[in-house]
Amino acid sequence: MEFQFTQKQIDFRNEVLNFLKTELPSDWPDRMKYWPGGYGSMELNEDPEMVRTAIAFKNKLAEKGWLTISWPKEYGGKQYSYMEQAIYEDLIMYYKAPGMGIATGIAGPSILHFGTEENKKDWIPPIARGEINLWLGYSEPDAGSDLAAMRTTAIEDGDDYIINGQKIWSSAAHLSDYAWLAAKTDPDAKPHKGMSMFIVDNKSPGVTIRPLINILGSHSFNEVFFDNVRVPKRNLIGQKNMGFYYLMLALDFERLMVGIGAFAKMLEELIAYVKTAQRDGRPLSENVQVRQQIAYLATRLEVAYKFFWRTADMLDKGQQPSVEASALKLICTELSRKMADMSMEIMGPYGQLTGPSPWTPIRGMIPKGYLDCISATVGAGSSEIQRNIVAQRGLGLPRK
């Protein structure tokens, strides 16, 4: 067991750090009001200047090969270790920089694992170049935790599949190019046996995307309807009817993308706040309850980091961190809620301020986080589902 980075990893960390400091506008982290673990922060998409900066920055990451750090060189990657990828992701999220997404974090690695050679030829190069964005088409009105209950079908017809059905809670579908879609290719088979994965062009005739407005009043997710949508057979990913197993692997990849650096940044800001703010004429940092709360958050974050580095280490050793990915997701998203709750308690009424005022703490982040953190423990599988996975896959307890 080794609890420190190698010199090569330290050098790489410094390289990423310098890049972020040089290439991102210095006020970028402050302008991004993303709450750690939350989904709802969509200001980026409403500010054209930030969108331009984000695209330019992402292009530079693609040129450096950092969007696909751990991928094999033959697929446009750097072939660095997963530990180096984790170091990169930690810093990217600390700076709330563009550079992690569904295409490179979920769809790409999944295709590399179970895609056909034709799939890899079609999809890996544009993903590695950062040219295409995907949304996740899993959940349906009657299938969330229990994805095997999904009803969307993809039925073979000549050279195509014809897709019919509805997806819901489709984050950023309106901003993406393609769906990474799960559908039933054999609706009569046992629930886990008749599902397949597809990539579907959002522009296909018969795709309708309707906005759903979230608790923050932002348009972050959608409901998406598929009405006789024709998809070429070569857009089937991997083998027909193996989709449920592919989906489970893709969910493991998603649960590793916890954005841990954003938690570290938020905790730093909270500590800086309690060191300067006063209550009843005394520094907040002297308040017993405040100190207890800050210490609680710091120790939970340390536990999360241990799981984060461990999952990277397991991947480097050729192991698939499935239980560990669920545990990491569980710890981080529960921390997201605790951080918002405790921030609100620590700041009292000031924590409710959002507007530009000298009394508003941490750029008005707290009320937003208080609402946004609710989504953290639901998206990518709820906390209950993560605990079920730890109990069943990790501890060998029976399903019921």
Ligand X SMILES: Cc1cc2nc3c(=O)[nH]c(=O)nc-3n(C[C@H](O)[C@H](O)[C@H](O)COP(=O)(O)OP(=O)(O)OC[C@H]3O[C@@H](n4cnc5c(N)ncnc54)[C@H](O)[C@@H]3O)c2cc1C
Alpha-carbon span 325 to 385, nearest angstrom: 12
Alpha-carbon span 277 to 285, nearest angstrom: 8
Residues 6+ apart with CB under 8 A from 174: 209, 211, 219, 222
Residue-wise over 201-229: b if at least 16 C-beta within 10 A, else e? Answer: ebebeebebeeeebebebbbbbbbbbeeb
Task: Write down the least CB distance from residue 220 to ligand X, Å.
Answer: 7
Of the candidate residues 53, 68, 85, 170, the single one contacting ligand X (CB under 6 A): 170
Write out the two tokens for 256: 């590793």
- Strand pairing partners for 143? 140
Q: Tell me if 35 contacts ligand X by CB under 6 A.
A: no
> Which single residue is written with the structure tokens 């982040």?
365
Q: How many residues bind ligand X (CB under 6 A)?
A: 20
Q: Tell me if 226 contacts ligand X by CB under 6 A.
A: no
Stretches 41-49, 55-63, 113-121, 374-382: which one binds ligand X (CB under 6 A)? 374-382
Task: Write down the least CB distance from residue 387 to ligand X, Å.
Answer: 8
Among 37, 41, 94, smallest CA distance to 336 is for 37
Stretches 60-68, 122-130, 138-146, 279-287: which one binds ligand X (CB under 6 A)? 138-146
Q: Tell me if 18 contacts ligand X by CB under 6 A.
A: no
Task: Write down the least CB distance from residue 113 to ligand X, Å.
Answer: 20
CA–CA distances in Å: residue 81 to residues 72, 208, 241, 325: 10, 40, 32, 18
Q: Tell me if 221 contacts ligand X by CB under 6 A.
A: yes
Question: DSSP 3-state assignment of 277?
Answer: coil
Task: Write down the least CB distance from residue 91 to ligand X, Å.
Answer: 24
Q: Tell me if 153 contacts ligand X by CB under 6 A.
A: no
Q: Tell me if 139 contacts ligand X by CB under 6 A.
A: yes
Task: Write down the least CB distance from residue 176 to ligand X, Å.
Answer: 10
Comparing CB distances to ligand X, the nearer of 161 and 180 is 180
CA–CA distances in Å: residue 303 to residues 86, 94, 299: 16, 17, 6
Of the candidate residues 105, 130, 369, 381, the single one contacting ligand X (CB under 6 A): 381
Question: DSSP 3-state assignment of 201?
Answer: strand
Of the candidate residues 144, 187, 191, 364, the single one contacting ligand X (CB under 6 A): 144
Write out the two tokens for 26: 């210095």
Q: Tell me if 171 contacts ligand X by CB under 6 A.
A: yes
Of the candidate residues 39, 123, 226, 253, the single one contacting ligand X (CB under 6 A): 39
Q: Tell me if 375 contacts ligand X by CB under 6 A.
A: yes
Alpha-carbon span 393 to 358, nearest angstrom: 50
Task: Write down the least CB distance from residue 376 to ligand X, Å.
Answer: 8
Q: Tell me if 169 contacts ligand X by CB under 6 A.
A: yes
- Where do contacts with ligand X occur on this chain (CB under 6 A)? 39, 135-139, 144-145, 169-171, 221, 375, 378-379, 381-382, 384-385, 388
